[in-house]
Amino acid sequence: MDISKQRITSFQRENLSFDVIDTGTLDGQIFVLLHGFPETNKSWQETSEILNQAGYRTLAVNQRGYSLGAQPQKRCDYRGSALLEDINTLLDLIGQPVYLVGHDWGAVVAWDVAQHYPKKIKHLITVSVPHKAAFMQAMLKSNQLFKSYYMGLFQLPKIPELLFEKFPKIGLGLLKNSGMTQQQLDNFKKEMVDEKRLTFALNWYRGLPFSSNRNLLKPITVPTLFIWGKHDSAVGAKSVALNHRFVKAPYKEIIMDATHWIPVQNAKELSAYILEAVA
């Protein structure tokens, strides 16, 4: 497949079909954009437009559970290795090294891809969530475990769905307290609740017990830009401070005056930092 001559609107892995928003000049250098919870690939719209204007092509992926054609039922189907190989399948289809950008859970996947398949990545850009080893070490050395209480809550059966679907004041209150705007809350209700993505998105948390940390301390060997908002309610400063230890390549860290939701709320600044890093 010559991807410089046609759009990638979807790709398949096993019996699953993943949606892609492919924009920008067809022969431009490629950014692959990975969203987090609880957002879809539409969260990259403004960032994509800016990168496209700069001459780059962007492929924003709806990941496992978020693509309506890729919603397996079992918790173990959402283990880290499955999420990793979904994106590796896309990279194989692209057939050339890419700039890989991930936010929130998308950052977790992006770190894993860079760790396992460094030759497929020109530059890694992770937003809000640091390297898994830095995050886990911070749980032992700071208030990160307290900040991550929701990760335990979201692994419970049915209760998170009840909070968001039957008691929205409570569920949406959690998201609002994290810094989400009313427009983001409206998007969440439409995309996650009304369009039946919520349980499958929560399965990313429920799949954690099935994920391996065998390569936890393996360093990243590709150039890396990490961006974090100092008002992030989910990720504390300690894991950010530890992050550089796990990158054995050119590394730059930017701390923004922002919440956790940088791709939607700070797209212009984020895009400028990304373009500067890859120039």
Q: The CATH number of the domain where 102 resides is what?
A: 3.40.50.1820
Per-residue confidence of the chain (279 residues) as pLDDT tens digits? 788 889 999 999 999 999 999 999 999 999 999 999 999 999 999 999 999 999 999 999 999 999 999 999 999 999 999 999 999 999 999 999 999 999 999 999 999 999 999 999 999 999 999 999 999 999 888 999 888 888 888 999 999 999 999 898 999 999 999 999 999 999 999 999 999 999 999 999 999 999 988 889 999 999 999 999 999 999 999 999 999 999 999 999 999 999 999 999 999 999 999 999 999
Q: What is the per-residue pLDDT across 181-194, written as a single tens digit (0 to 9) for each?
A: 999 999 999 999 99
Residue 54 falls within a domain, yes or no?
A: yes
Residue 185 falls within a domain, yes or no?
A: yes
95: left (phi over 0), alpha (psi -120 to 50) or beta: left
Residue 231 falls within a domain, yes or no?
A: yes
**Whether residue 66 lies in the annotated active site:** no
Q: What is the per-residue pLDDT across 210-249, written as a single tens digit (0 to 9) for each?
A: 998 888 999 999 999 999 999 999 999 999 999 999 999 9
Residue 150 falls within a domain, yes or no?
A: yes
Q: What distance in Å separates the CA atoms of residue 128 and residue 267, rounded to the nearest whole number? A: 13
Q: How many domains does the chain have?
A: 1
> What sign for the dihedral angle of Cα 170, 172, 175, 179?
negative
Q: What distance in Å separates the CA atoms of residue 156 and residue 173, rounded to the nearest whole number? A: 19
Instruction: Provide the pLDDT for residue 1.
Output: 74
67, 12 in Cβ contact below 8 A? no
Of 22, 104, 112, 232, which one is the catalytic site residue? 104
Rg (CA), the chain: 17
**Whether residue 260 lies in the annotated active site:** yes
**Whether residue 27 lies in the annotated active site:** no
Host domain of residue 70: 10-278
Of 66, 205, 232, 273, which one is the catalytic site residue? 205
Distances (CA, A) of 247 to 97, 115, 123, 192, 219: 19, 10, 12, 34, 5
Of 35, 103, 123, 260, which one is the catalytic site residue? 260
